[in-house]
Amino acid sequence: MDWFSLRLAEFRERRRRRAIDERIRHEKNSMDSENVTRQNFILLGFPQSGKSTFLKQLRILHGGGYTESQRREMRTRIYQMMVAVMKLLVEELVKSSVSFSDPVNEHHRLSLDEITVSSVTGYHQSFMDILISLWNDDAIKKSFQRQSMLLPTSTKYFFDNLSRISGADYVPTEHDVLMLATPTTSVEEHVFEIDTKRYRMTEPGGQRPLSTNWFQLFADVNCMLYFVDLSGFDQPCPWSDHENALEGARALFATVSGSRWFCHCTHLVMFSRQDVMKEKLLNDFSSFQKCFPDYTGPSDDCQEVFCFIQMMFIKADASETSDVHCVFVNLTDTHNTRFVFQIVQDILRRPTRCNCCDLL
């Protein structure tokens, strides 16, 4: 990066920070004058742990939801995700030297090779026909079963709804919006007003925790929501080659919970995707004991495994003064998320250290 580009980037970053500071001051002054109770949350956790999905749910429940126009704009991202996943499935099939059940799909494979994900900018009947034909092929279904744990968790949902999605008049539903993974690459703030309270949610997505670039966001935080994807217990940690993703999530929680920025706020661990973890355990896809040798219970006893993980995070909390709670949540279920957020509000009203809620 040349000198001019570097200075321009620094100028834009300073301007962005000033805008955030000004917005925080404006909100504080307006709430003081309106006698509105403020609750400041910061959402932390590994990428794809459920932070963005939680914010989408709050928007649906308390922020007016998504208009048809806004949902229509998400069609392209859904198409691009489906094309990217199908390319992976076909690639695995080719590497395994497995033939398609329907010979016509060999032609569709060649056509798919010519389509780049970035070139998918809207609806085209041609690539929809390719996706439908390939997904209905038994060889692709077997490829999906072999790789399902490595693909986006919403893969089966979207492909099972191809008949609806492939229509020229398709408009994503709010549930489609929830199922679509939305990576956050910059600091995002969302404000929700519920009764006489104003909840400000800050998500420093795309930033490695404890980066000095977002220390300023920690001022006046009442609650740290730490999101954990339980299905990552047998997946590699994104920041370490020596531990699995669940171990990495625990280590990161120990670090942020002991930070001086959070030593006086409530810590709430939000465990998500327990359904995917149950499927892995009950179908012997992975051994929990192999990933966590300290666990001595039955590998297929999901309740015992969840209790072990819960206590693992409680013990990892490095703060001596904060309250820590654990909640199990289905983030793609709006009714469940509403119930869980009510529990979160109740916890903030009457916190008790290590008071853990099981919602399994």
Give the C-alpha separation, 197 to 192, whole Å.
8
Taking 80 as the threshold, does the pLDDT of residue 78 lie above it? yes
Taking 70 as the threshold, does the pLDDT of residue 25 lie above it? no
Q: The whole model's pTM is what?
A: 0.81
Which two structure tokens, joined as six digits, stand for 245? Answer: 């993703």
Domain 37-66+184-349 has CATH 3.30.420.40: no
In this structure, of 202-206, 253-257, 353-357, the range with the lowest mean pLDDT score is 353-357
Give the C-alpha separation, 194 to 58, whole Å.
10
- What would the pLDDT profile of 287-345 be if each residue is shown by its tens digit? 888 889 999 988 888 999 999 999 999 998 877 666 788 999 999 899 999 998 888 88
Taking 70 as the threshold, does the pLDDT of residue 18 lie above it? no
Q: Which residue has the tokens 């080659």?
A: 241
Taking 90 as the threshold, does the pLDDT of residue 207 lie above it? no
For the beta carbon of residue 187, count every other beta carbon within 10 angstroms: 18
50: left (phi over 0), alpha (psi -120 to 50) or beta: left
Taking 60 as the threshold, does the pLDDT of residue 34 lie above it? no
Are 163 and 128 spatial neighbours (Cβ–Cβ below 8 Å)?
A: no
Q: What mean pLDDT comes out for the span 219-237?
A: 86
Of 76, 77, 55, residue with least CA distance to 66: 55
Q: What mean pLDDT comes out for the span 107-125?
A: 89
Helices (H), 243-333: 245-257, 274-282, 288-291, 302-316
Which pLDDT band holds residue 33 (cuts at 50, 70, 90)? Answer: very low
Taking 90 as the threshold, does the pLDDT of residue 162 lie above it? yes
Give the C-alpha separation, 50 to 272, whole Å.
7
- Which CATH architecture describes the domain 75-171? Orthogonal Bundle (1.10)
Q: What mean pLDDT comes out for the span 165-171?
A: 92
Are 327 and 340 spatial neighbours (Cβ–Cβ below 8 Å)?
A: yes
Angle at which helices 104-113 and 125-135 pack, to 10 degrees?
130
Q: What mean pLDDT comes out for the span 86-102?
A: 91
